[in-house]
Amino acid sequence: MNEDTLCPPIPGRVDYIHYIAELLGASDPTTNLANTQPKITLLDIGNDGLEYLLKPLKTNKQNSSLIFTEKGAMNIANIYLTIFLSFALGVVAQEKGGGEIKEKTVSAFVCDHRYGAQATWSQGTDTSQLKSFWWAEACAFRENLALTVFDNPFSAGHNNVPVSERREAARSGRLGFQLYFTTDRWANPQTGKFEIIPDYYGKVWTQKAVAAGFTVIAGEAKRSRFPNHGQQMFDSSNGLYGYDVKNGKQGRKDVFTPLLKYETNWLAKNFSPCSVAAYRNGQTGASYAMPRHLLGARNSGHTGELSYGRSAQDKKLLGVGRYPDLTLANTASMELTTRAGDIDASREAVMARCRELLEQAIATRGWYRDFNHWHTSPRFGLSLEQFLADQRKTIKDADVVSLDFGQALQHKFLRDISTVAVHEADTGIQLDVTFCNSRNLPLSVFQIPLSVGVNLAGTRFSGQDLASPEGCPIRRLAKDQFVVDVPFAGHEGMVTVHLQPTSVANYMDLEQPSVVQSVSRDGQLLVQTDKPTRLVVFASPAGKGIRGVRAVARSHKLSSTHTISLKLKAGEVLYVGAITQWKQSVLVGPLPLK
C-alpha cells in the first residue's frame, strides 16, 4: 500500500454509494426531501470515488452535508477540484437545458450467471468408459447441454476411452474435464511414486503399512477405504502424514501435494487447467488442502441442496446454502446433487424429483447440478438419455446457461471478487471492473471472463447498438439490455472495457445451429450448417439409436461447410452433432448411407 493511501480498496465499495443515494432519496428526484428527510451528515475518509458521492448529495442539497478527510497537499487539492467541477458543470448543464437534467445515467452490474442468464445447469460423471462415453456426448449434443467428466491419469485400461480420444472430445466442446481426485493414492514418501495407500482397501493391517510408517499393528482389523488424506492419515501415522484438522497441524511429510499437482498438471496438459474436483469413493479428507489449489469440489450427496441460490445469512448474496461448499471453509460440496438414475426409487419418482429441483433453481436464480454414473445408466429404470431429455423439456424457454462444473464455479467466484464502475463520455461508455481477491482464491485456475450487465434505458444511448473496441463479446438481451464479457487476466487489478455506439452490431449468438444439408456418398460426408460450427460424426448400428454410437470423425474448424472422409462398418447409420463457438449444439440423424 502506498504511503499516500489511507486504506486499500474495499470490495463492493460501489454498493455503499447506492446505499447513500437511497438514503438521500436520489432515486426519486420529485420528492421534497426538505419536508420528508432528516438532516444527514456524511463522513468520507479518503477522496477515492468522491465524484460518485457528490452525485447523490446534489439531490438533497438543503438537508445534507459532507465532511471529507484526506492527507497530503495533492490529495486535498484534488478534493477542491472535484467539488468545483462537479457543481460547476452541473450548473452549466442546467442553464443550458433550462432546468433539472431528467436523463438517466448508464447502469452496470455484475451478472449472477454467465451471459446474464437466469440460472446455471451442470451435470457430470467420474468415468470415461467405452460403453457410455460417446452415448453421453451424443445425448449432450441433442439436448444442447454441457456435461462434465471428472478424470485423472489413472483412468485407463481396455474399458476406458483412450486419452487421445478424450482430448478430441474436449476440443469439440460439448464435454468439459475436471479432476477426479484419487483419494486412495498418495505420493509414496520412500519412492516418490503415486501408488495406492498401503492397505487402503484391506480389512486387516499388514506389514506393508508398518514399513511405510503407519503406527499400526499388523494383523489388527481395520475398515476398508482407510486411511484417507487428512485426519485419518495423521492419526494413523502419529503425525508423520496427513493433516490434523482439529489443531491445524500439517504432517511432517507431505504425501498429498505432489499427487494433486501431478493430477492437475495432467488435466492441464491433456485438456485445460481444472478448477474443481470430485473425490473418489466420496472421501473428503483432503478438503483441508483444496482451497490452495482449486475453487471447490463435489461429493456424492443426493438430496439436491441448491447452494448457488440466495444466502440465508444475506439475501443480497448468492452462493451460500445449508452446506457452505462454495466457501473456503469447506470446499467439499455435500448434499447438492440429484444423482439422477442412482436414487433407489421408481423412474417416475426420480424424474419428478429432478424436475422439482431444476424448477427451484430457475425460480431462485440458482445452480442446478446433477451427478450420474453414465456407465451404470440405466439404473432403477432411468437412463441418462431420458433424464437429459426431461431436463431440457423442464427448462423450456427459461434463460438457463449450461456450463461444466468448473466454469460454473469460476463465474460464481469472479462475481464475488469484482466490483463495477461505469463512466460516460461523448464517445461512449467506460466500464471499470476491479478484481480484489479478498478470499485468497487460486486465481490461476480462472479461464473464463466475467459477465457484466449494462442498461441503457432512459439514457442518451438508448436504442443504440454497442460494440467494444477491445473486442469483448457482447450479448443483447433486449432493447437497451446488454451483457459484456469482461476478460480476467488471472490477477488482482482493474480491467477497463469501452463500449461505443455502432451501426454494425456483432453480438453473441446463443441460438442453436441448424444442419441445412447432410449428404453421404462414396465414403464422403458433406455437411452444411446455417452458422459456423464444429462437427462430430457418430456411427451406430441400425436400429440401436444413439445408445450404440461411437465417434468416427471430428472437425474442429469453425465453418459452415464440412467435408469429412468416413470409414464405416456395414449396416451403420450416422448422426451428426454440430456446435457453435458459443457452445450451442444440435444432433441430427439417423442419416442413411448412400
pLDDT in tens, 362-384: 888 888 888 888 888 776 667 88
Q: State CA 58 to chain mean position distance.
A: 40
Q: Looking at 345, 371, 398, which one is the last position of a domain?
A: 398
- Do residues 234 and 242 make contact, with C-beta atoms less than 8 angstroms apart? yes
Give a yes or no: residue 201 inside a domain: no
Q: Which domain holds residue 59?
A: 13-97
67 burial (CB, 10 Å; 0-12 / 13-18 / 19+) is: exposed
Based on the fold, state whether residues 423 and 383 are members of the same structural domain: no
pLDDT for 30: 35
Give me the CATH number covering residue 383.
Answer: 3.20.20
C-alpha cell at 228: 484417507
Give me the CATH number covering residue 525.
Answer: 2.60.40.10
* 278 three-state secondary structure: strand
Give a yes or no: residue 406 inside a domain: no
Give a yes or no: residue 349 inside a domain: yes
Q: Predicted confidence band at 98 (pLDDT cuts at 50, 70, 90)? A: very low
Give a yes or no: residue 218 inside a domain: no
Q: Looking at 346, 364, 398, which one is the last position of a domain?
A: 398
More confident residue, 163 or 285: 163
pLDDT in tens, 433-474: 999 998 788 999 999 999 999 999 999 999 999 999 999 999
- Do residues 405 and 179 make contact, with C-beta atoms less than 8 angstroms apart? no
More confident residue, 300 or 511: 511
Based on the fold, state whether residues 583 and 474 are members of the same structural domain: no
pLDDT for 338: 59
pLDDT for 93: 34
Q: Which residues pair with 481 in a beta bridge?
A: 455, 478
Based on the fold, state whether residues 393 and 421 are members of the same structural domain: no
Strands 276-279 and 296-298: parallel
pLDDT for 21: 56
Write the CA distances from 258 to 227, 415, 528, integer angstroms. Answer: 18, 31, 48
Q: Looking at 333, 365, 398, which one is the last position of a domain?
A: 398
pLDDT in tens, 193-224: 999 999 999 999 999 999 999 999 999 999 99
Helix segments in 468-590, DSSP class H: none
pLDDT in tens, 297-352: 775 433 333 333 333 444 443 333 333 334 333 333 333 445 665 566 777 887 88
Write the CA distances from 177 to 187, 286, 339, 341, 451, integer angstroms. Answer: 23, 20, 18, 21, 22
C-alpha cell at 36: 420528508
Based on the fold, state whether residues 443 and 579 are members of the same structural domain: no
Dihedral sign for Cα atoms in the order 152, 153, 157, 163: positive
Give a yes or no: residue 283 inside a domain: yes
Write the CA distances from 544 to 306, 490, 574, 590, integer angstroms. Answer: 37, 46, 11, 10
Based on the fold, state whether residues 494 and 526 are members of the same structural domain: no
Q: Which residues pair with 373 in a beta bridge?
A: none
- Do residues 197 and 184 make contact, with C-beta atoms less than 8 angstroms apart? yes
Buried b vs exposed e over 546-566: b needs ≥16 C-beta within 10 Å?
bbbbbbbbbbeeebeebebeb
Give the span between the Cα atoms of 366 and 119, in whole angstroms. 5
Establish how many alpha carbons lie within 13 A of residue 524's alpha carbon, considering only the half-sphere containing its beta carbon: 6
Based on the fold, state whether residues 521 and 497 are members of the same structural domain: no
- The amino acid present at 288, given as its one-letter code, is Y
Based on the fold, state whether residues 284 and 417 are members of the same structural domain: no
Give me the CATH number covering residue 463.
Answer: 2.60.220
Check pLDDT > 60 for residue 106. Answer: yes
Kindly report whether the global pTM for this prediction surpasses the value 0.85: no
Buried b vs exposed e over 139-149: b needs ≥16 C-beta within 10 Å?
bbbbbbbbbbb
Based on the fold, state whether residues 436 and 497 are members of the same structural domain: yes
Percent of the chain with pLDDT over 90: 56
Check pLDDT > 80 for residue 399. Answer: yes
Q: Predicted confidence band at 45 (pLDDT cuts at 50, 70, 90)? A: low
The number of domains in the chain is 4
C-alpha cell at 114: 454467465
Check pLDDT > 80 for residue 88. Answer: no
Give a yes or no: residue 191 inside a domain: no
DSSP state of 343: S
Give the angle subtended at the CA of 352 by the CAs of 349 and 353, to the nearest 5°: 85
Check pLDDT > 90 for residue 86. Answer: no
Evaluate the omega torsion of the peptide bond into residue 590 and state whether it is cis, within 30 degrees of 0.
yes
pLDDT for 342: 59
pLDDT for 26: 44
Based on the fold, state whether residues 157 and 270 are members of the same structural domain: yes
Give a yes or no: residue 206 inside a domain: no
Check pLDDT > 80 for residue 152. Answer: yes
pLDDT for 364: 80
pLDDT in tens, 264-296: 999 999 999 999 998 888 787 888 888 889 988
Give the span between the Cα atoms of 325 and 333, in whole angstroms. 4
Based on the fold, state whether residues 144 and 292 are members of the same structural domain: yes
Percent of the chain with pLDDT over 70: 74
Based on the fold, state whether residues 73 and 174 are members of the same structural domain: no
Based on the fold, state whether residues 428 and 388 are members of the same structural domain: no
Give the span between the Cα atoms of 307 and 311, in whole angstroms. 8
**Cα end-to-end distance, the chain, whole Å:** 71
Check pLDDT > 60 for residue 5. Answer: no
Give a yes or no: residue 49 inside a domain: yes
C-alpha cell at 337: 446433487
Q: Predicted confidence band at 550 (pLDDT cuts at 50, 70, 90)? A: very high
Q: Which residues pair with 540 in a beta bridge?
A: 573
Min mean pLDDT across 486-490, 522-526, 534-538 is at 522-526
- Do residues 537 and 505 make contact, with C-beta atoms less than 8 angstroms apart? no
Q: Predicted confidence band at 594 (pLDDT cuts at 50, 70, 90)? A: low
